[in-house]
Amino acid sequence: MALLEATNITKIFGGLVAVNDVTFTVEPGSIVSVIGPNGAGKTTFFNVLTGIYKPDKGRVVFAGKDITGWRSDQIAALGMRRTFQNIRLFGNMTVLENVLIGMHVHLHASIWSIIFRGRTMLREEAKARNKALELLSFVGIADKRDELAKNLPYGDQRRLEIARAMAGDPKIILLDEPTAGMNPHETAEATQLIRRLRDERGITVILIEHDMRLVMSISERISVLDYGSKIAEGDVQAIRTNPRVIEAYLGKGAAGHAA
């Protein structure tokens, strides 16, 4: 059974159809990519999946539940986490705290046990801390745990965002351009990290990326959006040779020359 099934999603802003009747399925344990030119509606599609926008049409089924119209936090609690294209960390909190925030839904200490410093609460906090540290070492920034997130170098901020997303024990993580602005070396490391997310942790990944080398090397399936509509879908080979995709990227008439 598919982990995530979005059917006929449409999202309209004023007169602009940002996402147009897109149907999209993700199998558990896979890495899939969503690509498309700037303004194609990729981020908007993510925003619909994660409940930040309500779709004007269509349904989203995740982990067997119809989550259409759910609030963002409910969807996150169900196990869908994301990163943001324009990194949205809690800049004035420490790296460790950022990860702890990601764990929020798994922390249950009641307000009474917080006020009276109950054992369960102390134990839970200690456990959360250990787990957060483990996640920070997984992404490779454990030594920076006490720095303020806003003071991290750019690449580390992206890593932290992934660690924060992992903190919720998600079934799926949506990565919005995780290597934007990175140099080739950093990109290679990020690619490695994404692979390990799936291979070592079993987390399904949906990826928005403009770096075609990364996309082609990592994805099992690729969906292509253009002007809000899905114009192609398939494995790497199929997308590489799809004339409509080449046209969307390079303009009319280019299809014959490329690939």
Partner 1 sequence: MAVDATVAPTTARRSLGEVLGVVFGPVGQLLAFIVGSAASLSLIVVVLALILSSAQPDIMQRVVIILPQVIIDGLVRGFLFATIALGYTMVYGVLEFINFAHGEIFMIGGVVGATVSFLLVSAGALESIPPLVFILLVVLVAMAFCGMLAVTVERVAYRPLRGAPRLVPLISAIGMSLILQDLARLVMTNTPLGFNARYQTPNFGQPIQLFTMQIGERSVPVILSPRDLIFIVAATIMLVVLNYVVNATKLGKAIRATAQDMPTASLMGIDVNRIIALTFLIGGALGGAAGALFGLRIGTVNPYMGLIPGLKAFTAAVLGGIGNITGAMVGGVVLGFLEAFVAAYLSIFTAGNFSGAAYADVAAFSILILLLIFRPSGLLGEATTQKV
Partner 2 sequence: MTTSTSSQSLWQRVTAPLSSGPIAYGFLALYVLACSILLVTNPRTELSTDVVFVLFLLSMLVAYRSRVAAWFKVVLGVFALGVVLPYFGTLNPFYIDVATQAGIFTALALGLNVVVGFAGLLDLGYVAFFAVGAYAWGIFSTPQITEINPAWSPVDPVMFYPFLIIGLILGLITGVLLGLPVLRLRGDYLAIVTLGFGEVIRVVANNLDRPINITNGSQGIRAIERPPLIIVDQIRNLGIVADDNRLYQLFFYYLVLIIVLLTVIVVARLKHSRIGRAWEAIREDEVAAVAQGIPRVRMKLLAFAIGASFAGVMGVVFASKQLFINPPTFDLLRSINILAMVILGGMGSIPGAMLGAIIVTMLDLQILPRIAAVLREAQAAGAPIPRQFDPTQYQRLLFGLLLVVMMIFRPEGLWPDERRREEQHEVEITDEELEADKTAKQAGADSGS
Ligand X SMILES: Nc1ncnc2c1ncn2[C@@H]1O[C@H](COP(=O)(O)OP(=O)(O)OP(=O)(O)O)[C@@H](O)[C@H]1O
Contacting positions for ligand X (CB under 6 A): 13, 16, 18, 36, 38-44, 85
Q: Where would I find the beta strands (DSSP E) of 16-171?
A: 16-26, 31-35, 57-62, 65-66, 80-82
- CB under 5 to 8 A by kind: which of partner 2, Mg ion, partner 1, none does 65 bind? none
Q: Considering only residues 92-131, where is the footprint of partner 2 by CB under 8 A?
A: 92-94, 97, 100-102, 104-105, 107, 109, 111, 114-115, 117, 119, 121-123, 125-130
Give CA–CA dist 203/190, Å, rounded. Answer: 15
- CB under 5 to 8 A by kind: which of partner 1, partner 2, ligand X, none does 39 bind? ligand X
Annotate each residue in 34-63 with x if it binds partner 2 (CB under 8 A) or - if it does not, as one string: ----------------x-x-----------
Scanning 34-42, 47-55, 210-218, 242-250 for contacts with partner 1 by CB under 8 A, the matching segment is 47-55
Residue 43 is a binding residue for partner 1 (CB under 8 A)? yes
Identify which of residues 17 and 133 has a Cβ nearer to partner 1 in the complex.
Answer: 17
By CB under 8 A, name the one of 53, 90, 227, 249 that touches partner 1. Answer: 53
Residue 90 is a binding residue for partner 1 (CB under 8 A)? no
- CB under 5 to 8 A by kind: which of Mg ion, ligand X, partner 2, none does 36 bind? ligand X
- CB under 5 to 8 A by kind: which of ligand X, partner 2, partner 1, none does 151 bind? partner 2
Identify which of residues 50 and 98 has a Cβ nearer to ligand X in the complex.
Answer: 50
Residues that bind Mg ion (CB under 5 A): 43, 85
